[in-house]
A and B are shown apart, each in its own frame.
Chain A
């Protein structure tokens, strides 16, 4: 995703002379091409995220489009009030980019786990919140963000995520869910890096049991595709959300907010990081599986809903 981001940003910057990239001293070996191509519009603002966000707002208020870039919580929580007051209040075209969302930096410890960003960014007025699931979604989302008149938050993984979309989905738009697998045997709703394992799991379930769970990718958490969620609630017996984020305030919460305003809805299960801290840490896969594998979680949920046999062994 990181490479897709930079390649796309370089193309956008070549076409838009008002596009700036600010980094909080992060991006070794990836920011250099942009810096070389657009030296007047690239700034390493140093390890000073509050100032970076304020500078971005000042530039944007004078007609520029600005991207701020850093790791995990640094470009978001460290300067949250600047994002709230300086960027969102003035509805400025600043895109905050965080690389290493979720457990990308799992073994680096809790300081580097991006687990509350979606919740916090989602509740800021004017903010568009995007967590692409693969490099294709990253490119398309970034191209759409570069046309927005207001602020956006773009949560990236690291590098080397698998391609989920074989081709550009023709119906891509910010605020729209993408249907990756049609079906009515439950609905799996994924965002960010859990998209690829979710699609893989749906295919496994189809092979093993002949069932067809619907798979929705939700690269945009705000604005959320309410209609796709309502349709899933009407047409399938269970909804399971999958995200690398706290169980509070992320995709699962956002879907619950939609369901709670409908009557007569199927059950919802959230695969998310529990609201708890543990001293032991590990790599991204280990952290994802720390409280049980996503595949086992989904299988159990679908079995409870009667979609697959209750005794189904977990993969």
Chain B
């Protein structure tokens, strides 16, 4: 898949947010704020970074994205619609009785590699995927890469750091961790709940190549993610400074919108604030 332009990615992210808002409203579902902090990242990843093809979804050499913060499912499904894995009709089934589009990411959904929902599972899975992608000869490039999107609250989980040790020890430079640093978790500020800072130093100390970026700066993320690994022989982690609920004024930086679902009036305002985006397809046009 060719790299989309920044403006094409931008309009896809708008479209994703609009879909996700309608989905969580219709399903009376939560976690929209946690999805909006990574909407721009997912738009960048599916806008030409990930080597995936909806026409050949089982290609053994495809890159694998693992959304370890599986509660942001609605936004991932919207990204998969943008990438051609799902239809708008699929999205409309989200959270409905009998649907496979569950509130936490399900591998039964086309384009999804792993079911997630319990935090701290994604990075060990990514280590296994990256290990499988290593070529027999160290001179050959890996057959595929593993991208793992984690929350910052998720960094509390011990299993994240077991995997961090493992990936560095085995020099898995086809493993890329992306940390959504929105600074909010279940009951409040990450630094008040269980202090993470200095987070980048922790990853460096574990042997990872570390970068930091504004998780809503699409050109910057495109630039960083097109030059991976950050350092040969080391796994890469990019800490993305983000705003929970990004794009909707009354959702931004609030813990409450981890849980709430927009009512009709809030939906209308939110749709207005996130912008129009393109209704279908034109962002793919040359």
Contacts and interface: CB of A to CB of B under 8 A. Distances in A.
Are A and B genuine complex partners? yes
Interface of A: 40, 43, 45-46, 48, 50-64, 81-82, 85-86, 89-90
Contacts of A63: 60, 132
A50 B123 CA distance: 11
A1 to B, nearest CB: 27
A43 B125 CA distance: 15
Interface in B85-109: 107
B159 interface: yes
A51 B131 CA distance: 13
Nearest to B169: A46
Contacts of A89: 107, 115
Contacts of A45: 166
B191 interface: no
Contacts of A62: 60, 64, 128-129, 132-133
Given A54-B121, A59-B132, A63-B132, A46 B165 contact: yes
B163 interface: yes
Contacts of A48: 162, 165-166
A60 B133 CA distance: 12
Residue of A51, A53, A61 with most partner-chain B CB within 10 A = A51
Contacts of B207: none
18 contacts: A45-B166, A50-B158, A52-B124, A54-B124, A54-B159, A55-B127, A55-B163, A55-B166, A58-B124, A59-B128, A59-B129, A61-B113, A61-B129, A81-B121, A82-B121, A85-B117, A85-B118, A86-B114
Most buried by A among B107, B125, B131: B125
A86 B158 CA distance: 16
B146 interface: yes
B118 A54 contact: no
A85 B121 contact: yes
B103 to A, nearest CB: 15
Top 3 closest pairs, chain A to chain B, by CB: A58-B128, A54-B124, A62-B132
A54 B117 contact: no
A51 B60 contact: no
Contacts of A40: 136
B33 interface: no
B128 A54 contact: yes
Contact of A61 (B114, B127, B163): B114
Most chain A beta-carbon neighbours within 10 Å: one of B60, B124, B128, B136: B128
Contacts of A51: 124, 127, 159, 162-163, 165-166
Given A50-B124, A51-B163, 9 more contacts: A46-B162, A50-B158, A54-B125, A54-B127, A55-B163, A62-B132, A85-B118, A90-B107, A90-B115
Contact of A55 (B60, B115, B118, B128): B128
A209 to B, nearest CB: 55
B229 interface: no
A58 B131 contact: yes
A99 B162 CA distance: 23
Interface in B216-259: none
A71 to B, nearest CB: 18
B146 A58 contact: yes
Given A55-B128, A62-B60, A63-B60, A90 B162 contact: no
Given A48-B165, A50-B120, A56 B115 contact: no
Given A48-B165, A50-B162, A61-B113, A55 B131 contact: yes
A87 to B, nearest CB: 10
B126 interface: yes
Nearest to B70: A85
A54 B113 contact: no
A64 to B, nearest CB: 6
Contacts of A61: 113-114, 125, 128-129
B132 A64 contact: yes
Contact of A53 (B64, B114, B124): B124
B129 A58 contact: yes
Q: Which of A57, A61, A81, A90 has the most CB of B within 10 A?
A: A61
A51 B124 CA distance: 5
Contacts of B136: 40
A49 to B, nearest CB: 8
Contact of B128 (A46, A50, A60): A60
Given A85-B115, A85-B117, A58 B125 contact: yes
